[in-house]
Structure 1
């Protein structure tokens, strides 16, 4: 059985999470609750929990400091962070300190249960005692940064007609917030980033003289070769033909 500690300053949220988890009867159960980070540490000192689910914004000790304290004192404990759209910068901080994943509010019941199940399948989770010694290294956090996931998705699907709204949905973020976060993290907006990915791939393809420009245009997501050529020149300062000529290619 995976013992879970729920930490949130809203009693109704704690009650809701407890009902979702306990009613699932899936090998995990809420064994403790706390209203802030300080109370959470007291609970952890009194009972060996396998997993902590904690809010980011709480009075007293906030979620970031709470997670940092957990992994300095109880590095074997898995931590799931709950956050709103506007709090993702804090989520990033908790990931640095070892939080294994995060869920956006309002929490989707199935997402929560799936995540707990995944954690329970990891070695040292349910049925084992977390190591209370600070000498044990914290578990590494998975690469679940939404911007990293978005960039990976673009790299795989840049040739298709993908939109900001589509990718925002894939990474479970509000489209407006995702757009702002993407610009902040990458230094360019979504459309500019997508175009650059396409043109960089086109440059690689143009270096092979056997690839015709019309075919390259389709390969990188542009049905109209003339439009592709205009975009290519706007980004590189050269037409595709000029770019290829500079590299000794011939075919158009």
Structure 2
């Protein structure tokens, strides 16, 4: 069974996370909550969750230490930090400890869901696809809403090679008609939209991981790091390196201020 464990002594924060999940494609997750490490460890030992969300300011143990303890129990467990602590050293400790992501409060719905898309285990990813596709095991096109279907397909497969012809075939439209309809509905060309989606995914990985830029480019569907850098700068007005450095610089300012 797909489960999520939230360990945070802030009831409001736990409620916020639960609300985001209940209104997303991950609403099939069974959510368990704990306000202390003692209770969290008990729940961990009773059943291995599919992911663990922790705050670093816990009443009975340092959050970093708790996360490391959880990884000793389950080395492949995705751990997502959600905290108000904007200190770069803590973010670095979390990433070096093998945690999957470091998110700041107040929590962004998009960042949390993008993090889930990136870090959840293959078991969960499979379950997500089954829920989206109504258990059919394959993508279902809504013929009444071909552009919405195309967008959903792109969101699910942004890391793969995507072509206009492939997607137009997926929604049973001619490439020329699909291209015109897609631009009318989204305000972007097909190529522009695919790049936009991939860049949004890459932004989260640049902020919250130390993965090499070439790896991020590959994982988000770009043919090479040079093309990735060009597309990223066009949309964000910064290179991937500048964007990552800005995040680290802002974190360091917080530490020294």
| Runs of 5+ consecutive residues of structure 1 not aligned to the other structure | 129-141, 184-252
- Where do 1:58-97 residues align within 5 Å? 58-97=58-97
Q: Is the 8 A contact 1:5 1:53 kept in 2?
A: yes
CA contact (8 A) 1:150 1:167 kept: no
Give the drift of 1:27: 5.5
- 3-state SS of paired residue (1:4): strand
The alignment's C-alpha RMSD in Å is: 4.1
Q: Equivalences for 1:1-252 in 2 at 5 Å? A: 2-26=2-26, 28-120=28-120, 122-125=121-124, 144=206, 173=247, 176-179=250-253
Structure with greater Cα Rg: 1
Report the 3-state secondary structure (helix = DSSP H, G, I; strand = E; otherwise coil) of the residue aligned with 1:24.
coil
Contact 1:91 1:102 in 2 (8 A): yes
CA-to-partner distance for each residue in 1:208-247, whole Å, 9 max, x for gaps?
xxxxxxxxxxxxxxxxxxxxxxxxxxxxxxxxxxxxxxxx
State the number of aligned residues.
163
In structure 2, the residue matched to 1:244 is: none
- Report if aligned partners of 2:2, 2:50 keep a CA contact under 8 Å in 1: yes
SS of the residue corresponding to residue 60 of structure 2 reads: coil
CA–CA separation in structure 1 for the residues paired with 2:38 and 2:97? 17
Is the Cα–Cα contact under 8 Å of residues 6 and 34 in structure 1 kept in the other structure? Answer: yes
Q: Is the 8 A contact 1:6 1:30 kept in 2?
A: no
Q: Secondary structure at the match of 2:31?
A: strand
> Could you state the TM-score of these two structures normalised by the residue count of structure 1?
0.51
Q: In 2 relative to 1, CA 145–112 (structure 1 residues): closer, same or farther, beyond 3 Å?
A: closer
Per-residue CA deviation, residues 13-69 of structure 1 (Å, 9 max, x unaligned), is: 111111111221436524200112222111111122110011111111121011110
Structure 2 unaligned segments of length 5 or more: list them: 128-203, 215-225, 231-236
The SS at the match of 1:21 is helix
Superposed CA deviations along residues 87-115 of structure 1, whole A, max 9, x for unmatched, are 33223222222111121111101111121
What is the distance in 1 between the residues matched to 2:249 and 2:76? 35
In the alignment, the residues of structure 1 paired with residue 92 and residue 38 of structure 2 have an alpha-carbon distance, to the nearest angstrom, of 21
